[in-house]
Amino acid sequence: MLSPAAIIQRTPLFGRMFSVDESTGLEEINGWPGLMIMTSFAWLAVAGLLGVAMPLTQIFELDAGLFYLAITAHGAALVFPFLLQLVFGVSLHRAGGCLGTPATGLIPALIFWFMNVGAVLLTIAILFGFSVSYAVMYPLPIVGVETGQWSMWVVVLGFTGIALVLLSVIVLYPIQVLKMLFFDQQRDYLLLTPRSLRDPGMLGMAMAALVLLVAGTPLIIVASAVLLGLYGILPMALITWATEPVVFQFVFFIFAHNLMEAMAIMVIAAVYATLPLYLADGTRKLYSERLARLALWILLVTSVTSFFHHFYTMLPALPAALSYHGHIMSWGTGIGAALSIFTIGATIWKHGIRPDPALMAILFGFVLYVLDGVSAIITSNVVWSFQLHGTMWQSAHTMAVLIAMTLLWLGVFMHHYPVITGRTLSKKTGYSFVALYTISALGLAYSMLAAGAAGMPRRFAAWNQEGWMFYGNLILFFGLLLAVALAVLAYDLYKSRFIPEPVAGGQAMPAE
């Protein structure tokens, strides 16, 4: 069987951009992570094309089915096989370099194959008409069968793909992270910069892994029951409890919302981990690690039950007090965010920074994430939810958080790129990428937020009604600008240059 590095090497075009440096003896922390990162970029290309296709179907008044196909496939490709796979690859590489533990063996292989095979199966189902939203709410998949929109075998295929992706995200990745943190033995030749759980960056990674495992387990239980019923292994009469709409909605949002919260913790942890490496005075210390850890604990405690704010329409199935509890906890996450903003700002103010495209991508990604948090807190308000939850405002919130996380994690990847590939990127091109991406991300987010505030429904295939095409044109413009930014990054990766000697002389060492 080919090694991950060999698979990358033999992949056309992408192999040149992401080929692993096998001369350093670090393939155990570069192999599977590098393959995950490379494959995530392939899915990004797919998601990007589908994203541009959505407004084009509206502008040229094409069949509505094409819009729903594009929006479903775009979301499916963007969230899991692109963004989460990118995060998994970069974070496993970083954990290996900081702990001296390998990212090899059966679990990383299963993370990769389950994620990508599952995404392919789901994509095939979508091509055959399985056009559902992120919230795959029962009984919508069955309603589609009964109304002739898709066949039952398409539902089985789609749920199989979803199940494989969920196993990768909820079970395999957290187990691999916890295994590397607590159970694997340190290998000195893999240890680039030692870090312990007292380091906010490592603490955040551990927290995120546990959130995914704990918050995702109820969904795994329910989804497994449904899948066994669809396969005919269990009689459908035995799984009716799992297909109750209330049950399905609760377990879905417990996971889906906490997935975003887990990523928020990892976002802040990534900033905490990388910022000290670029401080101008070489101290490599945050302004206060205690404040940084406190912020992470506040985010953990407040975020776990903030998902209740999604159930504002479920009275009396959900007591009203819990909806307001979710609202309060969502505002509570702002305390953790405020402490993080203070810690990061105070660190930069006290020590200064050495500008670099990777650091700028991380910092601007964090700024975009904070700005999106404002829109999230607004829509978490029970009263505002009735006005905004079903509009493009909610789509804007979802898209903005994904775009912000993408920029931040691309910055982390750019920092680690030299140690993974043995090559370096152009600073000039890198700055161009960050500038274009930031402008287009802000424009895209606020165009969608404005559309939602104007009452434009989400997942609606007739933008030309009531003047909504104005917002559609804005979305297309900034979407195309975002595509240009990503093309600039792809060009930079393709033109990367080999490093003649190890990075030294005061520069930030990658994989720290």
CA distance 291 to 425: 34
Query: In the chain, what's the furthest Cα-to-Cα distance?
Result: 68
User: How far does the chain reach from its first CA to its final CA, in angstroms?
Assistant: 31
Is residue 137 pLDDT above 50, yes or no?
yes
Residues 136, 221 contacting (CB under 8 angstroms): no
More confident site: 361 or 498: 361
pLDDT digits (tens, 9 = 90+) for 334-358: 899 999 999 999 999 999 999 999 9
pLDDT (0 to 100) of residue 115? 98
CA distance 287 to 344: 8
Per the structure block, which two tokens stand in for 53? 């296709």
Candidates 327, 409, 389; CA nearest to 78 is 409
Mean pLDDT of 18-37: 94
- Residue 162's pLDDT band, with cuts at 50, 70 and 90, is very high
25-34, 127-136, 378-387, range with greatest mean pLDDT: 25-34
For residue 128, give the 3-state DSSP assignment.
Answer: coil
User: 107 with 161: CB under 8 angstroms?
Assistant: no
H or E stretch at 169 = none
Name the pLDDT band for 509 (thresholds 50, 70, 90): low
Q: How many CA atoms lie within 13 A of 450 on its CB side?
A: 15
DSSP 25: S
Residue 25 zone, left/alpha/beta (φ > 0; ψ -120 to 50; rest): left
The per-residue pLDDT for 386 is 76
The closest alpha carbon to 173, from 202, 195, 206, 199, belongs to 206
Q: Which of 483, 397, 473 is nearest to 433 (CA)?
A: 483
pLDDT at 36: 98
Phi-psi region of 455 (alpha: psi -120 to 50; beta: other; left: phi over 0): left
Taking residues 476-492, report their average pLDDT: 96
The first and second tokens of residue 71, run together, are 């929006």
Q: How far is CA 11 from the centre of its chain?
A: 24
DSSP letter at 353? Answer: B
Of the CA atoms within 13 Å of residue 277, those in its CB half-sphere come to 23
Among 61, 10, 2, 71, CA closest to 38? 10
- C-beta separation of 131 from 105 below 8 A: no
- With contact defined as beta carbons under 8 Å apart, do 405 and 365 qualify? yes
375 touches 398 (CB < 8 A): no
Rounded Cα distance between 266 and 169, Å, is 14
Cα-Cα-Cα-Cα torsion 275, 277, 279, 284, nearest 10 degrees, comes to 100
List, for residues 260-318, the tens digit of each pLDDT value. Answer: 889 889 989 999 999 999 999 999 999 999 999 999 999 999 988 888 877 766 666 67
Domain ranges of the chain: 385-512
DSSP state of 497: E
Residue 103 has pLDDT above 80, yes or no: yes
131: helix, coil or strand? coil
**Residue whose C-alpha is closest to residue 115's, from 91, 73, 79:** 79
Query: Which of 119-133, 134-148, 161-175 tops mean pLDDT?
Result: 161-175
Report CA-CA distances (Å) from 236 to 160, 195, 243, 317, 471. 17, 50, 10, 24, 45
